[in-house]
Amino acid sequence: MIELRKFVAPEFVFGAGALDLTGQYARNYGARKVLIVSDAGVIKAGWTQKVIDSLESADIDHVLFANVSPNPRAREVMTGAALYQDSGCDLIVAVGGGSPMDCAKGIGIASSNRLDVLKFEGIDNVAVPGPPLICVPTTAGTSADVSQFAIISNEDEKVKISIISKLVVPDVALIDPVTTTTMDAYLTACTGMDALVHAIEAYASTANAPIFDIHALEAMRLISANLLDTINHPDDIELRGKMMLASLEAGLAFSNASLGAVHAMAHSLGGFLDLPHGECNSILLDHVMAFNFSTVPERYTQVGLALGLDLAKMSADEKKNTILQTVDRLKKSAGIIKTLGQRGVQTADIPKLAAKAIKDACMVTNPRDPSQRDIEVVYEEAL
């Protein structure tokens, strides 16, 4: 029986030159003054200025908020919300990777609901939609530009919270692959692997569905075929376009099917030690897959096929080992070679990390229901 599912996605424009449409779309929404949310790296790369130029060409005023950390903090969101309100803004444009986009989502709902952003943690806890939000992603991996997720760091609790609501789905995503040409090799690797984790977790999720599977599998195919070439040829716009398309496909999949233990555990790590999200996901991926494998072997077999493996004459154990080794080899070939221990995680940290991960909303749709001890063991194996 085909289970009932809904599919949520924003309007999006994909291709070279999409960024230049920011002013036109802001004008379509009747914007008078825009809050631009970005960060120092994106400003230095020049993409924020291009968005400003587009807004100015449409005679739309703006104010810039760029105090956004790599893992955006709740206090940063609330500072941005105050600036939005005090400046009389009526639309938000996010320019950057997942951090500016998540921060912008938080600013929007905090402004419209007049509540601290941490009050929205969990699923469907946003009562009033935020102002119109236009996202211009500059990385190929986070997919915040098309998702109903916003991830915010709670500094007091040292944990990243998940806000999941269709009311944080952006109104428009202007997806321009040219913006990703300024990413360095390691950021390209981490964001590309982040997209792969999105696709694999969405495909294995207990909320999977045929319409989501199409996007997840295509993302896996694109990433396995193009990630390493993109790292080696960073100025190749065709390769950058394929990775940006993979990010989009993965985003459409996970935004609707949700995620699993990799993300739940990565959120705990990111909040506790302020580690890069894509790197955490990459380190954990094959370890979590090994834990889940016996529950969804057919699903992971399809993952292996999407990664280009010939599994036809293999036994069940051979398939499992080959798939896990391929995932491990891909991340290491991309340059993600450190373990959690090498990134500062200590054995004594693991019970605290697991206790927070087990409560994360992404754990709800993990294919295998873990105990806290199960999560501790996976962390230990990734040390």
String of DSSP letters for 337-357 = ---TGGGT--GGGHHHHHHHH
Which DSSP letter does residue 295 get? T
Cβ–Cβ under 8 Å, residues 360 and 267: yes
Of the candidates 94, 101, 148, which has an alpha carbon nearest to the alpha carbon of residue 120?
Answer: 148
- Angle in degrees, 0-180, between the axes of helices 261-273 and 372-382, rounded to the nearest 10: 70
Q: What is the pLDDT of residues 121-163, one digit of tens each?
A: 999 999 999 999 999 999 999 999 999 999 999 999 998 999 9
List helix spans (H) across the chain: 22-28, 40-45, 47-57, 74-86, 98-113, 185-204, 210-232, 237-257, 261-273, 277-292, 297-306, 316-333, 350-357, 372-382
11-14 sheet: strands from edge to edge: 11-14, 172-175, 133-137, 91-96, 33-37, 61-65
d(CA 99, CA 138): 11
Please report the pLDDT score of residue 88 as a whole number.
Answer: 97
Match 């779309």 to its residue by tokens. Answer: 25
- Main-chain dihedrals φ then ψ at residue 133, nearest 5 degrees: -130, 125
Please report the pLDDT score of residue 1 as a whole number.
Answer: 66
CATH code of 11-180, in short, is 3.40.50.1970
Q: How far is CA 223 from CA 20, 108, 133, 234, in A?
A: 27, 32, 28, 15
| Low-confidence residues in the chain, pLDDT < 70 | 1
Handedness of CA 329, 330, 336, 342 (dihedral sign): negative
Pairing of strands 159-164, 149-154: antiparallel
183-382 under CATH 1.20.1090.10, yes or no: yes
Please report the pLDDT score of residue 3 as a whole number.
Answer: 84
Helix (H) or strand (E) holding 92, with range, is strand 91-96
Please report the pLDDT score of residue 102 as a whole number.
Answer: 98
Of the candidates 208, 224, 187, which has an alpha carbon nearest to the alpha carbon of residue 259?
Answer: 208
Sketch the domain layout of the chain as residue ranges: 11-180, 183-382
Match 């999006």 to its residue by tokens. Answer: 12
Please report the pLDDT score of residue 2 as a whole number.
Answer: 77
d(CA 243, CA 192): 7
User: CB atoms < 10 A from the CB of 7, how many?
Assistant: 12
Which DSSP letter does residue 96 get? E
> End-to-end distance of the chain based on CA atoms, in angstroms?
42
d(CA 139, CA 137): 6
What's the whole-model pTM score?
0.97
